[in-house]
Amino acid sequence: MNLRTFLGLTAVAHIALAWLVRLNARKRGDDATGWVVATLLTGIVGAVGYALRGR
């Protein structure tokens, strides 16, 4: 796997995680804009932070 493929897959994963955070926030009636941005920038770290905050 070359660097371009790795970076592309990483970007897709970050976008997918951010989308899931957004869907969950809408379901809860929350505004998770900050968590979506954090997830786009950090990936799993932002998604886990959002999940832990919601408990």
pLDDT value at residue 55: 56
C-alpha distances (whole Å) from 3 to each of 7, 27, 36 are 6, 36, 25
Q: What average pLDDT score do residues 6-20 get?
A: 97
What residue ranges do the domains of the chain occupy? Answer: 3-54
Mean pLDDT score of the chain, rounded to an integer? 94
Q: In 10 A of CB 12, how many CB atoms?
A: 10
Alpha-carbon dihedral of residues 50, 51, 54, 55, nearest 10 degrees?
-150
Q: Tell me the pLDDT tens digit for each residue of 29-46.
A: 999 999 999 999 999 999
Any residues with CB less than 8 A from the CB of 7 and at least 6 apart, and which? none
